[in-house]
Amino acid sequence: MAMDSVQATDQERLAQEFVRFALECGVLRFGEFKTKAGRMSPYFFNAGLFNDGARLGRLAQFYAQALVASGIAFDMVFGPAYKGIVLASSVAIELARLGRNVPFAYNRKEAKDHGECGTLVGAPLQGRVLIVDDVMSAGTAAREAIALIRGAGATPHAMAIALDRQEMATENGQDVPHSAVQYVRQALGMQVCAIANLGDLLHYLSANGGDAQVQAHRQRVEAYRARYGVAD
């Protein structure tokens, strides 16, 4: 029981450190942002702004530490084009630094008709594959990656993402009572490891709400979660 408590504390600490890091880098911002689902979100997460060596290296550390803490077993790493390519390669480097050397691969969105040809690059897809991406909103990129992995004869086993927004997905333009992460877990039977989630963001805002502006952000995020959030 004590070990579970310590583990939970370590994971919570990692999540809080990640939220702080994302805010400091301007990757996590507050305001009014339109999502792919057409919602007006009070916050926005843009992993493309982890855009220098130091930031990317630190991000890879967060992914690797979260994966190690999760206990998820996998045989290789896959990065869906385009953001997933950089994420998967940097995470593979960090895992190797931690003593867990695994192969990685990624896909092109356009098939190449010369050289090695095809859309897949890197190690052959085989065994239990971990897909690495930034966020999972509609789950479209996840389904495309899963189809590629299965088509190559490998097993799409788990996903690692930076932030779980914990909000309802949409199907045919309609809100559904589950998130994209829940769909991947429940309908596809895959494990999902998120460095942090919306609950962690709210916890950070509550713990660091020393001024009116931060409190206003927290209230807007809480209202958004009340409207679109899903239960764990």
Q: Which residues are part of the catalytic machinery?
A: 112, 114
Go through 152-185 and write b for each residue having 16 or more CB atoms within 10 A of its CB, e for each that does not.
eebbbbbbbbbbbbbbbbbeeeeeeebbbbbbbb
- Rounded to 5°, the CA angle 91-163-138 comes to 105
Three-class SS state of 175? strand
**Spatial separation of the C-alpha atoms in residues 105 and 121, rounded to whole Å:** 6
Adjacent-strand bridge partners of 34: 40
> How does strand 170-171 pair with strand 174-175?
antiparallel
